[in-house]
Each structure stands twice: as C-alpha cells, then as structure tokens.
Amino acid sequence: MPAEISTEQFVSIETIKDDSVVLKDGSLRAVIMVSGINFDLKSEDEQNLIIGSFQGLLNRLDFSVQFITHSRKLNIDSYLRDMGKRSEKEENPLLKNQTTEYISFISSLVNVANVMSKRFYVVVPYSVLAVEAEETISKFIGFLPFGKGKSNNEANKKKENFESQKIQLKHRVDSVMAGLRSTGVRSIRLETEDLLELYYNLYNPEKKEKKIPKIFEDI
C-alpha cells in the first residue's frame, strides 16, 4: 500500500516562535503588516516623493524581501455582534429598529456584493546558509599556506544559534520598517500569536477567515 501523504510535507514551516517563522531549512522569516495608501488621491509632488522614498528603500537593502497583497472575503461577524449588543441595550424604539435594519442591510450587502478585504505584508528573511558559505570559504583558506591556522578554523565552525539569528533578523526588520516610514505608510511586525492566526487562515482557506488577528486593528 502506498504510504499516506500528509499535508505537512508540503508546508515549509517547522515552527513559529519568538515572533519568527522558522522554516525546515533553518532559515527565519519575519512578517511585517503594512497599511495601505491611496496613491491616486495624492498630488503629483507627493506621488513623486513616495516613489523616490520607495526606490531609496529598495536601493538600501542588501537582502531580498517579499511584498504580498492578500485578499479574502471580509469577515464582519464581530462587528455585527457588537451592533447586535448595542441594539439590545438601546431603549429608544426608533433607534433600536434602525440599528436592527442596519445590521440586516450590512449583512446582506456583504453576502451579495462579495466584499473583499486587502492586507499588505512584507516578508523579511534571514538565512544561515550565507553564514555557512562564509565558514566554508574560511575553512578552505585555513588549509592554504597563508591561511590563519587551525584555531580560526575551529572558530569558523561554530554556527549561529537561534538567538543570534533573531538579532540579525531584527536588524533587517528595523531597516525595512524605517524605510517604509519614509514612504508615509505605517507598519508593524506580527508577533507569535498573530503569525499563528495568519498562517492558520492562509492554510485553511474558507469563504472568510475564522478570526481577525487583533494586531490588525493597530494598523
């Protein structure tokens, strides 16, 4: 009988901890959520300033980043629940009736119009592969007549541990977020709980996400 195939085999994520996504190859990823900007409503000078700032951000980076736009059906369940509670507490019959009609209208509008929400992310990577490549080169140089000797070779064999990798990743995140601020958009790094909720929603696609991560309200 053929061996059972698990969906985990197709997911490159090993674990999520300390605000970082750890992949199976040992590399790390940080996810930054970015606010949108209505570019078309800006003046020509403002548009040129935003473009110039974004070009400056890309030119300053010495590592790759990934820009992602994610669209899915809008989840307004929590909003409708809150409105329902307000309607129950409302003592004015007219306002109570208007609130009930509003809830019914918004609910039907979202279902009929298929309203979508868009969110914007920047994925920042850090990989130890580059570090290992440098160690390999240093190890090779150590065998040459003009090499630095065995003691340096031993030091170069030590790989960065998870804590040091997190520090390097944070430096990259700070650099990206500083560049994003210059374009006039707001950004925030997703924490562990938010990452878990985000990837759960991504890997369990439904008509709408089960829960909106709390951090989205800050953006």
**What confidence tens digit (pLDDT) does each residue in 3-30 have?**
566 666 778 888 999 999 999 888 899 9
182 vs 201, residue with greater confidence:
182
Query: What pTM was computed for the model?
Result: 0.69
Question: pLDDT tens digit string along 124-177?
Answer: 999 876 445 444 444 544 444 444 444 444 434 334 578 888 999 999 999 999
Size of the chain in residues? 219
- Please state at what angle helix 44-60 crosses helix 162-182, rounded to 10 degrees: 160
Phi, psi dihedrals of residue 117, rounded to the nearest 5°: -110, 145
Angstrom distance (rounded) from CA 92 to CA 105: 20
Angstrom distance (rounded) from CA 119 to CA 219: 10
Question: pLDDT tens digit string along 68-93?
Answer: 998 877 777 888 888 999 888 888 98
Angstrom distance (rounded) from CA 146 to CA 149: 8
Q: Which long-range contacts (CB under 8 A, 24 or more apart) does 201-204 make?
A: 201/72, 202/70, 203/11
CB atoms near residue 61 (< 10 Å): 14
112 vs 156, residue with greater confidence:
112
Angstrom distance (rounded) from CA 201 to CA 212: 9
How many angstroms separate the Cα of 10 from the Cα of each of 5, 25, 203?
A: 9, 13, 11
> What is the average pLDDT across 184-209?
83
Contacts of 81 (CB under 8 A, 6+ apart): none
